[in-house]
């Protein structure tokens, strides 16, 4: 037997739950009430939704005092959501008149743990243009120059098998062009080194 897709899909297939999941795509951990507000439902219903999502392994939480902070359990989940976004965004191709709130979202947003939107796409372009990652039709890869550059500013890739790829291209649902995901994408958004670090590549 194949695994049963329908349970996970069914969980996402609810308006309130999907909104909560998308809210967590920002990468920030949010409390149950914040998520309830975002999904426009009461705290009670949010509670059972969140319980289901965590039990299914899509979310994990950490308690802090009387607050319960939820986040996506894994990058896989974010990728799945991104995948869904792309498919549905592609379906409504003739993009309906987009408001100003949209414009902001399209300019810059965070896609789980890396940068997306116009800015994310531009950054990716710049990295390729400066030869730090390859400009391949498939997935990007760090060039030698890139390895030196990023090692120099403190980036350390985890090359063990089973880990997420260092570079991954991620199709932007708003821009319909790639931006950079993977370990490097995450690190650029949130470098772990203390030393100040600036891109002067634009």
Partner DNA sequence: AGCATGCTTCGTCCAACAACGAAGCATGCA
Partner DNA sequence: TGCATGCTTCGTTGTTGGACGAAGCATGCT
Nearer to a copy of itself, 51 or 87 (CB): 87
Chain centroid offset of residue 182 CA: 10
107, HSE (Cβ side, Cα atoms, 13 Å): 6
Check binding of 45 to a copy of itself (CB under 8 A). Answer: no
R_g of the chain, CA atoms, integer Å: 18
Binding-site size, a copy of itself (CB under 8 A): 56
Check binding of 21 to a copy of itself (CB under 8 A). Answer: yes
State the Cα–Cα distance between residues 55 and 75, nearest whole angstrom. 17
Q: How far is CA 185 from CA 8, 59, 117, 120, 173, in A?
A: 27, 22, 13, 9, 17
200 binds, among a copy of itself, DNA, none (CB under 5 to 8 A by kind): none
Check binding of 67 to DNA (CB under 7 A). Answer: yes
Which residues in 69-83 are b (16+ Cβ under 10 Å) and which e? ebbbbebebbbbbbe
* Contact string (CB under 8 A) for a copy of itself, positions 84-123, x = contact: xxxxxxxxx------x-xx--x------------------
Member of 42, 64, 83, 190 binding a copy of itself (CB under 8 A): 83
Element (H, E) at 60: strand 59-64
Member of 29, 56, 110, 119 binding a copy of itself (CB under 8 A): 56
Nearer to a copy of itself, 64 or 103 (CB): 103
Contact 72, 78 (CB under 8 A): yes
**Interface ranges with a copy of itself (CB under 8 A):** 1-15, 17-19, 21-22, 56-58, 76-77, 79-81, 83-92, 99, 101-102, 105, 136-141, 157, 159, 165-168, 173, 182
Q: Which residues lie near DNA (CB under 7 A)?
A: 10, 14-16, 31-33, 41-52, 65-68
């Amino acid at each position: 037997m194949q695994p049963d897709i329908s349970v996970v899909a069914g969980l996402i297939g609810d308006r309130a739950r999907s909104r909560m999941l998308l809210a967590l795509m920002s990468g920030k951990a949010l409390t149950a009430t914040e998520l309830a507000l975002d999904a426009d439902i009461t705290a009670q219903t949010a509670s059972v939704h969140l319980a289901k999502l965590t039990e299914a392994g899509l979310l994990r939480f950490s308690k802090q005092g009387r607050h319960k902070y939820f986040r996506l359990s894994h990058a896989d989940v974010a990728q799945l959501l991104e995948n869904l976004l792309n498919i549905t965004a592609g379906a409504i191709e003739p993009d309906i008149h987009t408001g100003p709130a949209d414009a902001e979202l399209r300019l810059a947003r965070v896609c789980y743990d890396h940068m997306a939107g116009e800015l994310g796409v531009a950054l990716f372009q710049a990295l390729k243009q400066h030869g730090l990652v390859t400009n391949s039709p498939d997935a990007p890869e760090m060039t030698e120059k890139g390895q030196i550059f990023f090692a120099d500013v403190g980036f350390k890739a985890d090359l063990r098998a089973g880990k997420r790829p260092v570079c991954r291209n991620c199709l932007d649902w708003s821009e319909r062009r790639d931006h950079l995901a993977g370990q490097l994408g995450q690190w650029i958004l949130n470098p772990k080194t203390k030393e100040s670090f600036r891109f002067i590549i634009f």
